[in-house]
Amino acid sequence: MTRKDEALLSVRHLVKHFPIRAGIFKRIVAWVKAVDGVDFDIYEGETLGLVGESGCGKTTIGMTLLGLYPPTGGSVYFNGEDITPYLLPRWKVRSYLKQTYVNHFKKLSGDEIEKLPQEVRRYAEVYFNDHKGNTESFVRHFTENRKEKQKAIRREMQIVFQDPYSSLNPRMRIGNIIGEAVDVHGLASSSAERRRMVAEILQKVGLYPEYAMRYPHEFSGGQRQRIGIARALILNPKLVVADEAVSALDVSIRSQILNLMEDLQREFQLTYLFISHDLSVIKHISDRVAVMYLGKIVEVAPKKKLFDRPLHPYTVSLMSAIPIPDPDYKKRRVILKGDVPSPINPPSGCRFHPRCPIAREVCSKEEPPLKEVEEDRKVACFFAGEIS
């Protein structure tokens, strides 16, 4: 894995809240804080594993990055470019830009702007140099050709879904399911070329080109997941979000698909955001791992460091909870008490404190920040490393 200094995808303070509506006027009565301030980077060519239990917000992150849900707050940078304006609905773009950049820049002196993080500083230059400090012109920079730019971003970021049964339209032939994206992006000049592209990608994922004429119900779960992967890869994207892509498959099939995804990553220089609840799968496929709990990232580290010595008490208990297929394997179990709390009303302070075996008073009052404890490794815990 080659790692460049600049991240392919950077996520800053990403927030996604879903409203709960009730009553005859459908008033908003509460918010589900699915993702509540998340930061991470994915470097080119690597696989970032995102692991957590159901309801922790890992799927929401994937969907938000692809623009399938508009973000409530925060920024997403792809290839160094702020793509948040294209993920947001049009009417929110202006206030987003003002809040994130313009208001900020106006207050800063030249020296202070120099010290801004690179991704933000870049827009300071665009604002002052290209647009001469004219806000309207700066906003237009993002709203002009919006549709084309959105399309270009979507071509670079694709997703493979969990359920290979519900994610393929049962009334479409495989060739059309995979070829649809080619049509949308106008990548084939003739139907013969489109056929050739579909046939080629089918072979790449280990299926026969003849399958293009068949319907989804004619395939097994593993084959359908291959079709889902082919659909994502035909556009030659840079980033693929795999959302529980192997969770619905039997173990013997699961390892086939994991091997296939690794082969394809090498061949097409793909970057993966691999979302899963299964730590053993995450350990196998990831280069770095981010652990989520209740809308927050609690620990992010290179795989080896994380699995050799987990530092956050939640990571520790998650690892010790996995049943190991060896009856003689002796391990120290940290069995957590209680259930995951509701993301509507998360606990105060550290969100893990009601279930944490080492929680102290400060944990219920103050929220621990996600901070670097070693090189390349961040943990959000006041007492990181106390149990491991």
**CA–CA gap between residue 15 and residue 309 (Å, rounded):** 29
Among the residue ranges 106-114, 191-199, 315-323, 379-387, the one whose residues contact another protein (CB under 8 A): 315-323
By beta-carbon proximity to another protein, the closer residue of 24 and 251 is: 251
Among the residue ranges 101-109, 123-131, 193-201, 324-332, the one whose residues contact another protein (CB under 8 A): 324-332
Contact 153, 76 (CB under 8 A): no
**Nearest distance from C-beta of residue 223 to another protein, angstroms:** 7
- DSSP H helical ranges for 217-250: 221-233
Among the residue ranges 120-128, 137-145, 328-336, 379-387, the one whose residues contact another protein (CB under 8 A): 328-336
188, 340, 344, 358: residue in contact with another protein (rule CB under 8 A):
340
Q: Which residues is 7 bridged to in the sheet?
A: 43
Contact 235, 187 (CB under 8 A): yes
**CA–CA gap between residue 252 and residue 221 (Å, rounded):** 12
By beta-carbon proximity to another protein, the closer residue of 99 and 280 is: 280
Tell me the one-letter amino acid at 210. E
By CB under 8 A, tell whether 163 contacts another protein.
no
Tokens in use for 63?
Answer: 């969907």
By CB under 8 A, tell whether 296 contacts another protein.
no
136, 251, 330, 375: residue in contact with another protein (rule CB under 8 A):
251
322, 357, 362, 371: residue in contact with another protein (rule CB under 8 A):
322
Give the x-and-dash track for 53-92 against another protein (CB under 8 A). xx--------------------------------------
Sheet holding 371-374, edge to edge: 157-160, 239-243, 271-276, 47-51, 288-293, 296-302, 377-379, 371-374
Kindly give the pairing relationship between strand 371-374 and strand 377-379: antiparallel
**CA–CA gap between residue 9 and residue 79 (Å, rounded):** 6
By CB under 8 A, tell whether 217 contacts another protein.
no
By CB under 8 A, tell whether 374 contacts another protein.
no
By CB under 8 A, tell whether 20 contacts another protein.
no
Sheet holding 7-22, edge to edge: 27-43, 7-22, 73-78, 81-82
**Nearest distance from C-beta of residue 65 to another protein, angstroms:** 23
Residues that bind another protein (CB under 8 A): 53-54, 220, 222-223, 250-256, 258-259, 262, 277, 279-281, 283-284, 307, 317-329, 333, 335-336, 339-340
